[in-house]
């Protein structure tokens, strides 16, 4: 599918989105990104996006692949889970290539291993067998510190259940990864600049009017938009989305898909999205299907 014709960046329900200026990287620690993404909760609005300028700029030291080149690659990934004496194979030799600037959808039934695959690509887990390569470097066998640094600088993640911190406002949730990575004193010194950057991101995703709202005061769509802003605060080179519309109604989910498409098209942000929804998957540039623990082109 041609990505320049598949999206409607001017969503019918959303406010005009203010442009976001490119900013210097302030990487969040892996646990700022993963904790603020894995153990935290997020909210997102059903509002569609009318206009989005690049919210992220690829880290130049990481942009080794030319436009359209292979950015992320999985080779022969295998993963089993153990339940007592029983071994449950989930991935049985997955081969996958993700090209820079594409929006790739991985579709499969519930329990097919989609989330497992995404977690392996994000280095949140290790495969039993196989290799994962990012920008020409193998990452599945990297040390914990190296994996944390990779997530900090190059990988953004969003999840089906948002994982926003309930006691923090939308703005504070977006800032959380930077608070953790900079530490208290360094963060205080840069606070004004970082806050303005977070506000710009929230404006970009259509949440400029929700800066001080906590998750319980936001809709599911708004929480997912906040989660997207949090994932983008570290200016990742690739965004990994685990069922980003799975917990939303159809209209709200479509608004999230339009936002992701706008970020992909106008920012050249590479996105890998797993979903069980064929209608959502059909809006991607390319769709692969996970069947019996293996990936095949749809």
Tens of pLDDT, residue by residue over 128-170, are 999 999 999 999 999 998 998 888 789 999 988 999 999 999 9
- Whether 175 is covered by a domain: the verdict is yes
DSSP state of 66: P
Residue 81 lies in a domain: no
Do residues 268 and 69 lie in contact, with contact meaning Cβ atoms separated by under 8 Å? no
Taking the model in full, what pTM does it have? 0.74
Q: Token digits for 88? A: 């449950």
Question: Residue 12 has what pLDDT?
Answer: 34
Q: What is the pLDDT of residues 29-63, one digit of tens each?
A: 333 344 343 333 333 333 333 333 333 433 433 43
Q: Is residue 127 part of a domain?
A: no
Number of residues written out for the chain? 298
**276 found inside a domain:** yes
Whole-number pLDDT of residue 133: 97
Whole-number Å distance between alpha carbons of 70 and 64: 10
The pLDDT value recorded for residue 247 is 87
131 belongs to a structural domain: no
Question: What domain count does the chain have?
Answer: 1
Quick one: what percent of the chain has pLDDT higher than 70? Answer: 77
CATH number at residue 153: 3.40.50.300
Nearest to 168 by CA among 256, 230, 220, 247: 230
Burial of 292 (0-12, 13-18, 19+ CB in 10 A): exposed
Reduced to 3 states (helix: H, G, I; strand: E, B; else coil), residue 221 is: helix
**Rounded alpha-carbon distances, angstroms, from residue 262 to 5, 56, 99, 102, 166:** 11, 12, 17, 12, 28
**DSSP H or E stretch at residue 191:** helix 184-204
- In the predicted model, what is the mean pLDDT of residues 5-24? 35
Average pLDDT value over all residues in the chain: 80
Domain that holds residue 197: 15-66+101-106+142-283
Residue at 89 is within a domain? no
pLDDT in tens, 235-282: 899 999 999 998 899 999 999 999 999 999 998 999 999 999 999 999
Q: Is the pLDDT higher at 245 or at 68?
A: 245
Residue 217 has pLDDT above 70, yes or no: yes
Judged against a pLDDT cut of 60, whether residue 225 lies above it is answered with: yes
Please report whether residue 82 resides in a domain: no
Q: What are phi and psi of 28, to 5 degrees?
A: -95, 145
pLDDT number for residue 188: 87
Position 297 confidence tier, pLDDT thresholds 50, 70, 90: low
Residue 196 lies in a domain: yes
């Amino acid at each position: 599918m041609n990505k320049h014709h598949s999206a409607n960046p001017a969503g019918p329900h959303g406010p005009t989105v203010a442009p976001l200026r490119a900013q210097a990287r302030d990487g969040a620690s892996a646990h700022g990104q993963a904790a603020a993404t894995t153990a935290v909760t997020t909210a997102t609005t059903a509002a569609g996006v009318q206009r989005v300028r690049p919210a992220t700029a690829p880290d130049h030291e990481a942009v080794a692949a030319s436009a359209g080149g292979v950015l992320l690659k999985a080779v022969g990934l295998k993963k089993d889970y153990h339940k007592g004496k029983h071994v449950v194979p989930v991935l049985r030799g997955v081969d996958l290539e993700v090209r820079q600037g594409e929006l790739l959808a991985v579709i499969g039934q519930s329990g097919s291993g989609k989330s497992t695959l995404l977690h392996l690509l994000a280095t949140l887990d290790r495969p039993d067998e196989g290799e994962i390569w990012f920008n020409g470097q193998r990452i599945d066998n990297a040390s914990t510190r190296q994996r944390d640094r990779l997530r900090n600088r190059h990988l953004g993640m969003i999840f089906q259940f948002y994982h926003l911190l309930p006691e923090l406002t939308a703005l504070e949730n977006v800032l959380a990864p930077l608070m953790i990575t900079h530490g208290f004193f360094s963060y205080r010194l840069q606070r004004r600049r970082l806050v303005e950057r977070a506000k710009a991101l929230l404006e970009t995703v259509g949440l400029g009017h929700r800066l001080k709202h906590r998750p319980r005061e936001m809709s599911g769509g708004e929480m997912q938009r906040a989660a997207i802003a949090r994932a983008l605060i570290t200016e990742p080179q690739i965004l990994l989305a685990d069922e980003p519309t799975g917990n939303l109604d159809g209209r709200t989910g479509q608004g999230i898909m339009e936002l992701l498409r706008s970020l992909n098209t106008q920012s050249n942000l590479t996105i890998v999205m797993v979903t069980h929804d064929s209608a959502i998957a059909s809006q991607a540039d390319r769709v692969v299907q996970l069947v019996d623990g293996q990936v095949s082109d749809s």
